[in-house]
Amino acid sequence: MNSPVYHIEKLVHGGLGLSHDKDGMVVLIEGAIAGETVRAKIRSQSKNLAQAVVTEVVTPSSGRIQPPCPYYHKCGGCDFQHLSYSNQLQAKQAIVKDLLVRSGHPDLQKAADTLLTAPLASPQQFHYRQRIRLQVDENQVLGFHKRRSHHYIAINNCLLARDEINDCLQELLLQRAFTKLLSQTEALEILYDPNRSKIHILIHFKRKPRPADKQHAQELVQSISEIQNIFFMGDGFGVTGRDSLSFTLLPIPDHTSRPLSLSWETGGFCQVNLQQNINLIQTVLDFCRITEKETVLDLFCGMGNFSIPLAEQAGSVLGIEGQGSAIRSGRKNSTDAGQSNTEFLKRPIHQACETLVLENRAFDCVVMDPPRQGVPGLARELANLCSKRMVYVSCDPATLCRDLADLLGQGLFLKKLQLIDMFPQTHHIETIALLEKR
């Protein structure tokens, strides 16, 4: 018996195709493109919603292509490889526009037509990731999660990873010492250091490493010339040893006059698409429009991705972050740049903002780059801390719309919206919003 036929009305948040069945129930369909007619198999169903997956494309979109990755239909990593890149960008813009319209806030609905721009395309559509994380199962299979599963699919090459990472992975799989380590490994991170053209490996271990484990790691460093260092971490112990990766931020027109080297500790956070990260930084600097006497508050500052270039122009920059390794990196990056106008504090963000408000602090520009959950319940404090401009970098457009609605209710208005495609071949997208005080 054939699966039911569905017309895909649009793509919604999460990259799923929205349709309705014959009874009017919403059906969200994986692997579909807006405008297509498809057959789909229901995977799960509740009272008002069904989840399905495409089994046959009856009427394909002109934007549909054959996914180039051999793991695509099994691996849960990429979900947009069946769209041409130009159609990926169009789909992402349409998804964000849909969220703005459905927010119900009149200013956001208006912004969907007047402010929302086409996404800034990534310089590379493949091989852009400088970091990948692989999982290891009880059978020592090294790979990514299968689609809709807790099991893993073994891989030895990822089309999103840099060539240097794939080359290293393939060499590791041939090494006896690596096989020995896999028996106690839960996950493996392979990180590329662009400034040294070297690989760092972070092994998430089930127990504290023993001398034999460290010896196996040393054998791998000696056998594979591209590897700079191998570290262990796990429950009950942090990263064994400390080293940093770094990239060079070239002078940004109208903002910085010299190259800046930004480093972060192994195990710390940095954007995985380093080339597009430079475009992200430039857009943030363009939105901030900082002058030499102005003050900046950078929340979720990380290792200073925005703080350090902003400090080249600002009177002062205060960076706040909850992760200790990031704060250490931020301070080091500022010192290496010869800056004396920065301060980096390790604090929970909500707590830090409440304290700053109690101290009657205010900043000409507030920059924030929160995790996926955004900044719920913080709108009033943020509005009090911001005297002129606010730049919000979001990796989740749904929580961004929620937070923007809250901020608009606190005396700010939305000035600009720029989409940046940090993660080609996936539905994920970065959005930068500029708000100004009324």
Q: Where are the domains of the chain?
A: 1-64, 131-241, 246-437
Write down the architecture of domain 246-437 according to CATH.
Answer: 3-Layer(aba) Sandwich (3.40)
Q: In angstroms, rounded to a whole number, what is the distance separating the alpha carbons of residues 376 and 394?
A: 13
Report the chain's terminal Cα–Cα distance, integer Å. Answer: 61
Which residue in the list 158, 353, 386, 395 is annotated as catalytic?
395
What is the chain's mean pLDDT, rounded? 95
Q: Is-same-fold flag (1-64; 131-241)?
A: yes
| CATH class of residue range 1-64 | mainly beta
CATH topology of domain 131-241: OB fold (Dihydrolipoamide Acetyltransferase, E2P) (2.40.50)
CB atoms under 10 Å from CB of 52, counted, come to 26
The token duo for 380 is 């009033």
395 catalytic per annotation: yes
- Rounded to whole angstroms, what are the CA distances from 160 to 28, 86, 196, 426? 26, 17, 21, 10
Provide CB contacts within 8 A for 413, sequence distance 6+: 107, 435, 436, 438
pLDDT for the residue 77:
87
Confidence of residue 133 (pLDDT cuts 50, 70, 90): very high
Q: What is the pLDDT averaged over residues 352-380?
A: 98
**Looking at the predicted structure, is the pLDDT value of residue 2 above 80?**
no
12-45 pLDDT tens trace = 999 999 999 999 999 999 999 999 999 999 999 9
